[in-house]
Amino acid sequence: MFTKKNKIEVNAILDTQIEEVLKKTSQYEDFIEGKLTCSSCGSIMNNQNIGIMLPVESGTKIKFYCDRMDCVEQYKLDHE
Ligand SMILES: [Zn+2]
């Protein structure tokens, strides 16, 4: 089985997964409306800047960190 994927396909799959996950946690509306923010710097999350999606509260909510280096580092500090 070949798993040749270009970047565009990977992003498309990722976007769909984000949508599915957020619909399960009832956060999809907030995401669309720009109400979900990075837990570190407070940037509004969108399809382009999601760095880390972390399930919290027994997986009923998702906590976000954006893809800035500082924020990924903050995530590591918080969870290691
Ligand atoms: Zn951030």
Q: What is the pLDDT of residues 3-50, one digit of tens each?
A: 555 555 656 666 788 899 999 999 999 999 999 999 999 999 998 899
CA of 30 to the centre of ligand 1 (A): 17
Ligand 1 center to 12 CA (angstroms): 22
DSSP 68: S
* CA neighbor of 39 nearest in space, from 15, 28, 55: 55
For residue 10, the CA-to-ligand 1 centroid distance in Å is 22
Name, in order, each residue with C-beta under 8 angstroms of 9's C-beta and a sequence gap of 6 or more: none
Span 46-70, pLDDT tens digits: 988 999 999 999 999 999 999 999 9
In the prediction, which pLDDT does 11 show?
60
State the amino acid at position 21 in one-letter form. V
| pLDDT score for 64 | 95
Ligand 1 centroid to Cα of residue 32, in Å, is 18
Nearest partner of 20 among 9, 28, 30, judged by Cα: 28
The predicted pLDDT at position 74 comes to 95
Cα 4 to ligand 1 centre (Å): 31
Place of tokens 């800047």: 49
